[in-house]
């Protein structure tokens, strides 16, 4: 790979880091070509972009993207594959599913919602993260619940109060 190709790869990785906002770094060393092709196919099926690159180029792309990626720099050892996805959970689910068939890919690190997760032991934590849409939905649900309770109480109380007023009027009459 010549200098121009490296420059283009760094620019492409930088753009992907900015575009997706989250990514996973995995170790896929020692996997067969058939296994790598299977991983690529599953990535394609799950709208995950997979890119194999040298650690130094990944680091340069992270530095150029301008985020706080320093905690992930130590994870850039050995063979690294970077996974990009709009869904924060999709790469974690894919890694978990692939691990049922073998011990690779191993999660080296991930950058999700401006937070760094370093190490394979973080995989379960990444699986429990909620998307922004899920969080917004929960907040709206929580905000609507008290309003619904008040409206329900007013509606049911309204008929009770009307019944009491009617009864009192009939007694007076």
Question: Residue 173: its pLDDT value, please?
Answer: 59
Give the model confidence (pLDDT) of 53-96 as tens digits: 999 999 999 999 988 899 999 999 988 999 999 988 899 999 99
Q: What's the topology of domain 3-129?
A: Alpha-Beta Plaits (3.30.70)
Residues of the chain with pLDDT under 50: none
Question: Residue 150: its pLDDT value, please?
Answer: 64
Q: Which residue has the tokens 């850039």?
A: 76
**Listed residue (1, 55, 87) closest to 63, CA to CA:** 55
The model's pTM = 0.75
- Cα separation, 141 vs 145, whole angstroms: 6
Question: Residue 161: its pLDDT value, please?
Answer: 64
Q: Tell me how crowded residue 18 is: count the other CB atoms within 10 A of its CB.
A: 13
- Cα separation, 119 vs 104, whole angstroms: 13
């Amino acid at each position: 790979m010549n200098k121009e190709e490296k420059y283009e790869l760094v620019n492409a990785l930088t753009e992907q880091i900015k575009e997706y906002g989250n990514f996973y770094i995995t170790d896929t060393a020692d996997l067969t070509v058939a296994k790598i092709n299977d991983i690529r196919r599953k990535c394609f099926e799950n709208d995950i972009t997979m890119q194999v690159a040298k650690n130094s180029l990944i680091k340069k792309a992270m530095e150029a993207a301008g985020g706080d990626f320093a905690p992930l720099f130590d994870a850039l050892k050995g063979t690294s594959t970077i996974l990009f996805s709009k869904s924060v959970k999709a790469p974690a689910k894919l890694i978990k599913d692939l691990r049922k068939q073998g011990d690779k890919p191993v999660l080296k690190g991930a950058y999700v919602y401006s937070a760094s997760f370093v190490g394979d032991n973080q995989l379960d934590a990444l699986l429990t993260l909620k998307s922004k849409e899920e969080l917004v939905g929960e907040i709206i649900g929580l905000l609507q619940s008290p309003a619904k309770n008040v409206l329900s109480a007013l509606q049911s109380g309204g008929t009770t109060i009307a019944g009491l007023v009617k009864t009192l009027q009939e007694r007076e009459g």
